[in-house]
Structure 1
């Protein structure tokens, strides 16, 4: 197999999440944690990339403000790498300890949920400072 080549198992895991094939439940703590963490990381990066593009378009002529998109991108990666790791482990630990079955779609929902909660908290703190 050469670099960059997909295997059938890679495609199968993508199809499991979007519901086009029968779901294969996530059994171990590591599988659950990894899937929830990846969804939290990628959804956070997506939202922060969009925010950074908007900030860059609006602040490109500002002398100091033009560097804000860099800070936004750094927070889009740093936040899931710190808090996202811990909260994903807690979610996976609860699922594993209670013997609940985690389907790949549940991991997607938990990962997106983490990003939405972080965004909500961020926006409410900004409004409190005004």
Structure 2
């Protein structure tokens, strides 16, 4: 009987610890998912943005402006937001550490011209 209880406790602890790891952004294939706000296919990965709630629900967006509008409309407890680095779309940056600029030189999917960069130097040529 003790052996069964010990097994159940160890299984529970293992499952709990696995679920406590740091949450990371998901990699997508172009066109695989639609934007959670506007329902357009996410095809330009330079603008891909992700939001995850504390309950673990993940939302994908085709542009930063879609995520901003979605966030204003919903009352979500947000755990993290990631934005794609415009110059390296395979790299995600946390929104609070990214340099987000508005520029007429940038043609984002929804037309607002918002893009995220890792440094101010990277964004200089677009300002």
Instruction: State the TM-score bracket (shorter-chain normalisation).
Output: under 0.3
- Greater RCO (CA < 8 Å, at least 6 residues apart): 1
Q: Select the structure that is richer in helix.
A: 1
Which TM-score applies when normalising by structure 2?
0.23
Which TM-score applies when normalising by structure 1?
0.23
